[in-house]
Amino acid sequence: MKPRTLLASKQIIEFVLTVKMTSKNLMKACPFYIVDNKTPRHTLLSARYKQSFAYKTMCFRLPGILNNIAEDISINTENIIAEFGEEIRKDVQSIISRILKLKYKLENDCVMKTFDGNERDKSLWNDLLKELNTDSNTFLRACWLYAECYVYRRLYCFFENHTTLKAYDYFSHNKRNAFVTSTDSMLEILRDLKTMETHISDDYLKLLLKLNLWGNRCDLSISSGKEVKLHGNPFELVRNLDTKILVDQSSKIIECLKSADCGNPVIIEMICDNAGYELFTDFILADYLIESKLASAVRFNLKAIPWFISDATINDFRWSLQFMKDHTSSALRDYGKKWQTFVVENKFQVANLNYFWTSPYEYYRMPAIDPDLYARLSKAHLVIFKGDLNYRKLISDFSWDSTESFTTCLRGFQPTNVCSLRTVKADLICGLAKGQADILDREDKDWMTTGDYGTIQFSGK
């Protein structure tokens, strides 16, 4: 790769110089509908409320992410051309301009327009956009979930509607780098697994659930694409973080797993989040469920398009297993071969592409929006939802009372037994004990957005 400064276009350089000024202008001259309050109780989260993480995300974090994407593409223009051909040079520059225009529209709170290209999920999105009234169809006025997802979906349409670049994953370098830089932690996990008791044990399974929970800390969207690397022994880190788990219903999950009717195939659906280290911990948990006969198969539900920087796609799934299989370490090689065999034997299954996972819809709307998907999940014994965005879709971007139950906040979404493994990175939560949120507020007013805390929640069918 050529030096960064040699490939950065004049357009990008000029843009970078204006980023701070734009942010200052937003802070000084907010629209009249932006109020300097926290999100009111039982209200949709949105950037309307200046003291919310939605406001911080939509006004500062997300514009910065779009800037980084445009700059990365500019820097890697020669590499992209080497892969796809010289004839796309002008198209790459056109896409960069469109990304910058999207950023401008976001910063100026423009209307979220419908899609009119070759997007396979065009009607899925347009139906929702047409539902929004004039007071809720702009980036800052809309529900945060809708607006943030819209930005990532609009970003991909710039590539999807290009004949050559529609297969280009502009986040792939970040995700692959995240996997490679985590190999030391992966090797430590595999070494420790050899010395642990691996028969069916509640304590052992709890440890793996918690390992999988904290794997969600390696989220590139919360770090705006910056490398996130764990330090120290992974299992020791997990044990030391026990006090940071605000709701721990892992015992109920284990009871659920052990209650399955083994006379029939026991399917576990895993709704995946990040590639890299977290996906590896997904594999570790799935491997144990198969080997301990708690599941006949684990089905991985992956994203259909590049999503929230580090979310795992089917290509990421396959690349990760191949990377392990080709690694110089025998431990990684052996597990890479084993898990590829699991794929062939249908013990590890990859669900068919489904655009519902990259739609703006909350999961309680799934029976009406995608009844076939809901019916498929209903046949599983357990569905494991990973990460913060899945949590937001499970309980909606809504300012619940922190003590309201997980089942209540699911709003009737109960295709089967449901659990969530989530590190807390957004200012919504449920299922806490009375007074627990007040104590956390006194200790750290930003506790809901740091990723330092986690929840393991369960709702039985």
271 and 335 co-located in one domain: yes
pTM of the model: 0.93
149 and 185 co-located in one domain: no
CA angle 357, 176, 267 (to 5 degrees): 40
Round to whole Å and give the CA distance between 350 and 271. 11
| pLDDT tens, N- to C-terminus, the chain (461 residues) | 333 333 344 444 454 444 444 444 444 456 778 999 999 999 999 999 999 999 999 999 999 999 999 999 999 999 999 999 999 999 999 999 999 999 999 999 999 999 999 999 999 999 999 999 988 999 999 999 999 999 999 999 999 999 999 999 999 999 999 999 999 999 999 999 988 766 668 999 999 999 999 998 865 445 444 555 666 899 999 999 999 999 999 999 999 999 999 889 999 999 999 999 999 999 999 999 999 999 999 999 999 999 999 999 999 999 999 999 999 999 999 999 999 999 999 999 999 999 999 999 999 999 999 999 999 999 999 999 999 999 999 999 999 999 999 999 999 999 999 999 999 999 999 999 999 999 999 999 999 999 999 999 999 99
Beta bridge partners of 454: 245, 423
Q: Do 285 and 211 contact (CB within 8 A), yes or no?
A: yes
Residue in 73, 57, 34 with CA at minimum distance from that of residue 448: 57
Q: Which residue has the tokens 């599983």?
A: 380
46 and 129 co-located in one domain: yes
130 and 229 co-located in one domain: no
Last residue of a domain, one of 139, 167, 195: 167
Last residue of a domain, one of 152, 167, 182: 167
213 and 244 co-located in one domain: yes
264 and 348 co-located in one domain: yes
- CATH of residue 439's domain is 3.40.50.10880
Q: What are 191-196's contacts with CB under 8 Å, separation 24+?
A: 191/331, 192/233, 192/234, 192/235, 193/284
242 and 134 co-located in one domain: no
- What are 34's two structure tokens? 């932006």
pLDDT at 198: 61
Last residue of a domain, one of 137, 167, 197: 167
Q: How far is CA 72 from CA 78, 309, 332, in A?
A: 11, 12, 30
- CATH of residue 147's domain is 1.20.930.60
51 and 86 co-located in one domain: yes
Residue in 206, 207, 356, 175 with CA at minimum distance from that of residue 269: 356
CA angle 19, 23, 28 (to 5 degrees): 145
79 and 226 co-located in one domain: no
Q: Which domain holds residue 453?
A: 172-459
pLDDT at 23: 44
126 and 241 co-located in one domain: no
291 and 415 co-located in one domain: yes
First to last CA, the chain: 53
Indicate the number of domains in the chain: 2
pLDDT at 217: 83
383 and 285 co-located in one domain: yes
